Structure 1
Amino acid sequence: MTGLRKGVNRRKVMWAFLDINLLLLMCFMLLYSYVSSTVSSPLYSSSCRLQGQFHLNGMHKAGDVVLGGLFGIHFFSVFPDLSFTSEPQQPTCHGFDVLGFRQAQTMAFAIDEINRNSNLLPNVTLGYSLYDNCIKLGIGFRAALSLVSGQEEQFILDKNCVGTPPVLGIVGDSISTSSIAISSVLGLYRVPMVSYFATCSCLSDRQKFPSFFRTIPSDAFQVVRQNVTGLQWMASEAAIAGIVFHTPHLMPYLGGTLGIGIRRGEIAGLREFLSRIRPDLHHNNVYGNSMVKQFWEYTFQCRFAPLPAGWVEAGGALCTGQEDLENVETEFLDISNLRPEYNVYKAVYALAYALDEMLQCEPGRGPFSGHSCATLQRLEPWQLMYYMEKVNFTTPFGDQVSFDENGDALPIYDIMNWLRLPDGRTRLQNVGEVKRLAFKGEELTIDEDKIFWNFESKKPPQSVCSESCPPGTRMARKKGEPVCCFDCIPCSEGKISNKTDSMECTSCPEDLWSSPQRDYCVPKKTEFLSYHEPLGICLTATSLLGTFICAVVLVIFIYHHSTPIVRANNSELSFLLLVSLKLCFLCSLLFIGRPRLWTCQLRHAAFGISFVLCVSCILVKTMVVLAVFKASKPGGGASLKWFGAVQQRGTVIVLTSLQASICTAWLVSSSPSPHKNTQYHNDKIVYECVVGSTVGFAVLLGYIGLLAILSFLIAFIARNLPDSFNEAKLITFSMLIFCAVWVAFVPTYISSPGKYADAVEVFAILASSFGLLVSLFGPKCYIILLRPERNTKKAIMGRGIQS
């Protein structure tokens, strides 16, 4: 038994090896004849009457350029036994396929439509040679090689023809296996082959199949890449149209199945064309139309003469050729569901557009060697290949047709749903589409109201593993579990999801932030030193209080301007000092409120000039104290001429003008400006004034500090002068406070973010201003208001203004 099994297996291997070798030998013989014919005459063979070796079912029409076609007109074939003692008989095809024949007629219709179109291929007539592959690789291979080698079966194209036009391209095959075999050979000679039904993703390999194109999407695109869960069955393009879904007893289980189907299209005028088909050998210049006769016999259950023996006796009818297709029930004329036919239509037009573009080439500007062009008299398939790769047009149905670098068309599918009718019948209905747009990604459209759900509730099923993720969360698959099992992860701060079952959370724009529920974006909170918050209110009140106190002191000094204590302390500089302190208090208000361009530019300029004016007055007062002291000594009177009223005013103006110049240069070169800062807080926008030029700001502060230190040093030197000049002690103390405040300000300001930097600067302005106001004017107001007996010349000359 084991020996018998081995013998059978060995015999099978031998026969398979023999079949392969015979097929290869046949291929090389045909290729040799093809190469020989193209070398001797690249366009036409020497005779209109072609001597062929294969008897194939076909249909042909004359033209300046001929396109080939391979279609499955029969379901199966029978090959005779090979005795190797005589010439083998030709295979016979059986089981007529009406839909396959309709696909072939669609190609004939498309070519006829192109020939009537004056805008496409003008002055060029397309012809065709269509063959039946009988759903058999060997027969399809024979037909394809016959087309490209010019070795078709004998037929007469036209009584006036002078040669046989070449087949520049083939529409077909409908089967991936056949397309793989045929295209691998045709690719050697760059003969374009455009399939309308072969979906194997392997055919996208441009190295193996360089001349293969297709108008049906590759299987690689069928994997519907969208997360559609909770469905009972999901089917591929091949399965959704399979016969299993037509089985009534399986519909309780398979009803409601969702799957993808080949794109359905509409072809205007096709039904009228199909209804005019007649089995007349000379109808519409179509020859060798054995397929039409077979279709007629199949449809009307009749036979043309000569009749087989016993046909009439058995009740068979004789075909007259005048039968009316409209009076018989046939799906041949039903064009409501054109799917493969629509792909055939697009394939023919793709070849036509490529040919039209090729013939529009201007001599000297062509894409071939020496900038040459292809001509109608010397057309080569490889020349057409160049233009096939650049095809891009839109069908009357509105679909864009082009090929990518692999020869694949832009994928587009109809989403189909098997509907179970109450009477037990089934119907396939369109519920949406999925397509890939050029440079725009993929687009999925589903009409959920049309979907039939195979459940008692007639509603979409819920996932048995996880509930839907609400807005504000995203789906995260559970590792090692089915795709319907997932966790709902809340979106992180600053991200949202506003749909159910979102795969990702999207970031909010820069000015927006996520809501607490993470389902929509809200404007970010804004932060600045406001007049309405407690800190801003306190600083504003303090500033206004200091301004009011300055005004009160100024009124007191004006009212008592003739008293000795006012006159003894240089009343003019005291008044100017009070005005400058008042400005210092007021300039702090520019740091409060929402930053704007004018406030950002004015705040530091006003602050710098006000404080320089203030410190300049103090510096001049201190210098006057030293000058008066020297003048009281013998021979020191000459020093007073340098510190008269004019010199005092001039010194204050010059020192203040220098600060004004610094501020002007800063504002012109790199002006401070408002800025929205999102770096401090993710959920807040901090409005702040950027200083523009750090150098400018540093020079402004440094100049104030230089004058303050100078005033402090001079006042410190004069602190031990006689009592009548002891205002120097007050100046020394006030400048000590001033310097301490601003030394502490710098590091605090640098380390404080946002509005707190403004608050620190306002606090420094107010603290130093109050320090100067209280230190310099507090003791004097005390004597003027509470100790008037000491506000006399004798008291001042005797004991000074010590309290």
Structure 2
Amino acid sequence: MVLGMGEDEKDKVLEMGEDEEDKGLGTGEDEEDKMLRMDEDDFTLPLYQMVQGMIFAIAEINRNPYILQNVTLGFGIYDSCDTVTRALEGTLWSVSGQIGPVPNYNCKPDSHVAIMIGDSRSQVSIPMARVLGLYRYPQISYGSGALSLNDKHQFPSFLRTVPSSYLKYDAVARMLLQFGWTWVGLLAEDDDYGQEISQVLKEQFIQSGICIEFFESLPVTNMELKMEHLVELVTKATANVVLITSSDSRLYPLMAEIALQNVTGKIWIGSEEWPISLLFSKKEFFWTLQGTLWFSVHRGTIPGFQEHLYDINPLKSPEDIFTMLFWEEVFGCKWNNSKRADTLVTKRCTGSENIKGLHIPFFDPAQVGYSYNVYIAVYAAAYALHNVFTCRHAAGPFQNGSCANTGIFLPWQLFYYIKNVRFFSSNSEEMFFDQYGNPPDVYDILNWQMAPNGTLQYATVGKFDSRLPVGQDLVIHSSLIIWNRGNNKIPKSVCTESCQPGYRKATQPGKPVCCFACLPCSGGEISNKTDATECLLCPFEFWSNDKRDLCIKKHVEFLSFSDILGAPLSIVTAFSSLIPAAILIIFIRYRETPVVKANNRELSYLLLLSLILSFLCSLIFIGQPNTVTCMLRQITFGIIFVLSVSCVLAKTVMVVIAFKATNPNSPLRNWVGSKLPNSIVCLCSVIQGIICISWIISAPPFPELNTKSQNERIIIQCNEGSAMAFWCMLGYMGFLSIISFVAAFLARNLPDSFNEAKYITFSMIVFVSVWLSFIPAYLSTQGRLMVAVEIFAIYSSSAGVLACIFFPKCYIIIFKSHMNSRDFLMGKGVQKHIGI
């Protein structure tokens, strides 16, 4: 098309090339497809609507007193017939100013074309842009969406009013994820454009975590050779979503076969305009294509455009051959001078037919499609020209503030104004070109629906607008979508069902990442969202619940006084400590009796006192461990028990000395008395004290939080600091016990009335047995049970010593007082020997 700009009634022109409408954002380049060609044999309504969009915009601008005052725009149309050669011929004709174009020559410099508007197909626009770019001639396409046209080194003066950027394909991926579709199929035309777009889509899908089950190319020719394979592939695919980047004419044979075989249940996604093609408006496609979604060119409204279309009449412009063809198309008639070859039409056109009685998409204000892009392109050219004419010298954009010559301005000067133009459309939407010559990325998301009355409709269910912040730029109203088979529930298209919270996704060798396995999180790890790729480690003081979807606070464990185990132990401790205390009172009460005096009464007092302390020291083991109690626990226990064992050892030694000292000439008579036993007790206790002091200095015990022994609990326990020191302390205590046992065992049958060896032997057997059993039990338990085992060992060993040594004496003192006499003990009583 040639758009003319007249000054003083003398027109200058802008050209708009017309061939086919792009099926989408510059897609579907097909030189064999003649469906929308502007010739007499294949006239179609969508292309004619675009022509009317340009005519309406020009008329509107010429009536506007605020744009291009005293300047009138005109236009011309050149049909490229969707061929590169015709497009280049028309381009050179427009540039040179003559029918027989001469490259690099202009035979009419005073009447040159200012702006080219076109072409619609990328395959035609690209060679045009290469030629026009040499002269920096402004070119505005309304339908070419090839991404390669963003290259300003190859196409420096190319602009377009149809958006074309990677944002669109990112939005497609985001839409799929919004519906939870991660398993899709991809069909693309087997040409440069189709492969380019499919590659971009695959890259976007990889980045977004979407997997492609199959990718197939649609042949440009001989589709029937691959038809059976394609239909079988789509039918057997587990992916319910199929993305198509193709023109309608190349896709039509495949979709016709799919509809014939009644393949339903698939959701078709288009990044092109093929779903609204007249080819797919037949009823046999309704059930197959219902639910289809696609990103469509933004359908801006053009106020007054519907009335303009209804005003079309061939009688008003008899020289307009396109209006004549339009009339024949919509009314199914023929003019007397018609050259169309359709012999089946016998009705004659009169021009008086009622055009407002037609109910076709051509007059629908919501179906303007690319006509809106043409309308915007004309306005962009008009505003640029307006800026040229209103430029003030010394304030211009060129060297030294100069302006372009309004009489004959150079193409590159007008191109400067066009690429920097900024205005608001009739929809109050801001229009401008970015650094690549693209307008803002704005798309409508349409849904292919079958209305209740059985007719076809395209419902707008969403929108993508790059001018809005991320998160607000893509809006989809799922409630407005009618899916395949009339369902309102979003269909699924996944290779593997989502992993629920508590599980994580794990890739399977040889399979796409979308075909994953769901593995439960390990203990101490959780996943609190669907399809988590990793399990999260719970904080130190937390553990995972049974479902592995929540971290719960660990139960803190220690042997407390209120514990079901700690409370009884506390009571037993208190009661047990009273028994040796009561015996001590008895011994003090009967301190002058022979039974109490036998074998050093002071040692008996000290032993009873140590047994009281040994019972009471178990209380240090109950309660929450802290630095003080951890240091006191083992050290107090070790010193008190060594004191007890050393007292027993001293008693044993005194038994032996007492027997040997009966001989008047025995040198052991000098050791009889309190000096030797006191020395034994002091020496043995001091050695243990040295061990404990060294332990405290080198590596003292300290409280710690044990989280490894029991996963769901935090055990507050005492770390012994130095395991060697701990076992040295126990070993030394065991060493003294064994010496006492051996000495008592050897002296058990000594014929002496004061012999305690038998009872000491039994007490040491109990003592050693308890602590030998304690070692494996202590090492095999954890937490409060380990503490309870040690307390039980303290009770048992202390009780063994107390019972074996002191209970027989208490029995005599309390119940057999007649036996508690010197005469009886010396063998002058009823019994000759009681063995005390």
TM-score for the superposition, normalised by structure 1 = 0.53
Q: Secondary structure at the match of 1:561?
A: helix
Pairing 1:146-161 to 2, within 5 Å after superposition: none
| Secondary structure in structure 2 of the residue aligned to 1:303 | coil
Pairing of 1:121-136 with structure 2 (within 5 A): 134=79, 136=82
Equivalent-residue separation in structure 1 for 2:321 and 2:145 (angstroms): 41
Aligned partner of 2:805 among 780, 783, 788 = 780
Change (3 A) 1:739 1:104: farther
Deviation at 1:239, TM superposition (A): 2.1
Amino acid in structure 2 at the alignment position of 1:198: S
Q: Tell me if 1:761 matches 2:797.
A: no
Alignment TM-score, normalising by the size of structure 2:
0.51
Q: Is 1:577–2:610 an aligned residue pair?
A: yes
Residues 633/182 of structure 1: CA separation in 2 closer, same or farther (3 Å cut): farther
The CA deviation string for residues 497-542 of structure 1, in whole angstroms up to 9 with x for no partner, is 999xx888985874676877xxx9466696776899xxx8467645
Pair 1:609–1:104, CA change in 2 (3 A): farther
Distance of 2:87 and 2:507 partners within structure 1: 47
Q: Secondary structure at the match of 1:768?
A: helix
The amino acid that maps onto 1:706 is C
Contact 1:110–1:345 at 8 Å: present in 2 too?
Answer: no
Select 2:2's aligned residue among 49, 57, 64.
57
Aligned residues of 1:673 and 1:690 also touching (Cα < 8 A): yes
Aligned partners of 1:240 and 1:714: how far apart in 2? Answer: 98
Deviations 1:441-496 (A, max 9, x none): 997845245417556xx77699999999998999999999xx9xx99988746799
| 3-state SS, counterpart of residue 144 of structure 2 | coil
Matched residues in 2 for 1:622 and 1:349: separation? 115
Structure 1 residue 215 corresponds to structure 2 residue 167 = no
- 1:37-186 aligned at under 5 Å gives the runs 57-59=2-4, 73=18, 97-101=47-51, 134=79, 136=82, 137-138=84-85, 140-141=87-88, 173-182=119-128
Contact 1:474 1:488 in 2 (8 A): no
Matched-pair contact (CA < 8 Å) for 2:125–2:144? yes
| Distance of 1:350 and 1:797 partners within structure 2 | 132
Are 1:59 and 1:129, in contact at CA under 8 Å, matched by a contact in 2? yes
Can you list the C-alpha shifts for 1:590-619, whole angstroms capped at 9, x where unaligned?
Answer: 4xxxxxxx5465764453244234235336
Q: Does 1:705 align with 2:727?
A: yes
Q: Structure 1 residues 794, 241: closer, same or farther in 2, change over 3 A?
A: farther
Long gaps (5+) in structure 2: 8-12, 22-36, 97-102, 184-239, 242-263, 325-334, 338-347, 383-397, 405-410, 659-666, 748-753, 828-832
Cα distance 1:623–1:466, how it changes in 2: closer, same or farther (>3 A)?
Answer: closer
TM-aligned CA distance change 1:709 to 1:406, over 3 Å? farther
Separation (CA, whole Å) in 1 of partners of 2:439 and 2:644: 88
Q: 1:429 aligns with which of 445, 449, 459?
A: 459
The residue that corresponds to 2:577 in the other structure is: 550
Matching residue's letter, 2:615: K
Partners of 1:570 and 1:733 in 2: how far apart? Answer: 20
Counterpart Cα distance in 1 of 2:822 and 2:73: 133
Cα distance in structure 2, aligned partners of 1:150 and 1:134: 22
Distance in 1 between residues matched to 2:300 and 2:704, nearest whole Å: 67
Q: Distance in 1 between matches of 2:508 and 2:448?
A: 29
Instruction: Give 1:621's aligned residue.
Output: 647
CA contact (8 A) 2:580 2:612 kept: no
Amino acid at match of 1:634: N
Letter of the 1:174 partner, please give it: S
What do the CA deviations read for 1:379-410 (whole angstroms, capped 9, x no partner)?
A: 999xx99xx9xx9x9x9999999999999987
1:243 is displaced (CA, Å) by 0.6
Q: Which amino acid aligns with 2:2?
A: N
Task: Please give the root-mean-square deviation of Cα atoms over the aligned residues, in Å.
Answer: 7.4
Equivalent runs, 1:649-660 vs 2, <5 Å: none
CA separation in 2, counterparts of 1:708 and 1:408?
Answer: 87
Determine helix, strand or coil for the equivalent of 2:588.
Answer: coil
Residue 420 (1) aligns with residue 451 (2) = yes
Task: Give the 3-state SS of the residue equivalent to 2:459 in structure 1.
Answer: strand
Report the Cα distance in structure 2 between the residues aligned to 1:573 and 1:765, rounded to whole angstroms.
Answer: 23
Kindly indicate whether residue 284 of structure 2 is the aligned counterpart of residue 243 of structure 1.
no
When residues 503 and 783 of structure 1 are mapped into structure 2, their CA distance, relative to the original with a 3 A threshold, is: closer
Offset, 1:428: 1.1
Tell me by how many angstroms 1:429 deviates: 0.9
The offset of 1:779, in angstroms, is: 1.8
Distance change >3 Å, CA 760–CA 659, structure 1 → 2: same
Shift, 1:672, TM fit: 1.4
Q: Is the 8 A contact 2:114 2:138 kept in 1?
A: no
Q: Distance in 1 between matches of 2:313 and 2:293?
A: 32
Within 1, Cα distance between the matches of 2:444 and 2:550? 39
Counterpart in the other structure of 1:82: none
Q: Report what 2:743 is aligned to.
A: 720
| Residues 642 and 685, structure 2, Cα contact 8 Å, conserved in 1 | no
Name the CA distance, whole Å, in 1 between partners of 2:787 and 2:760: 28
> Aligned letter for 2:768?
L
Map 1:605-684; keep pairs closer than 5 Å: 605=631, 607-618=633-644, 621=647, 633-634=669-670, 643=679, 667=702, 672-673=704-705, 675=707
Supply the distance in 2 between the matched residues of 1:452 and 1:589 (Cα, whole angstroms). Answer: 69
Distance of aligned partners of 1:611 and 1:245 in 2 relative to their CA distance in 1, 3 Å threshold: same
2:10 aligns to what?
Answer: none
Q: 1:522/1:476 Cα in 2 relative to 1: closer, same or farther (>3 Å)?
A: closer
Distance 1:328 1:552, change over 3 A: same
Amino acid at match of 1:577: S
Q: CA deviation at 1:258?
A: 1.5
* Residues 361 and 367, structure 2, Cα contact 8 Å, conserved in 1: no
CA distance in 2, matches of 1:129, 1:787: 138
How many residue pairs get aligned? The number is 617
Deviations 1:73-102 (A, max 9, x none): 5659xxxxxxxxxxxxxx997768354347
In structure 1, C-alpha distance between the alignment counterparts of 2:457 and 2:336, rounded to whole Å: 41
> What is the aligned counterpart of 1:302 among 307, 316, 327?
316
Q: Give the Å deviation of 1:574.
A: 3.6
Q: Deviations over 1:660-686 (max 9, x none)?
A: 6678x654xxx51364x5x966xxx33
Which amino acid is the alignment partner of residue 765 of structure 1?
A: E
Q: Distance in 1 between matches of 2:300 and 2:648?
A: 102
Change (3 A) 1:658 1:400: farther
Distance 1:409 1:334, change over 3 A: same
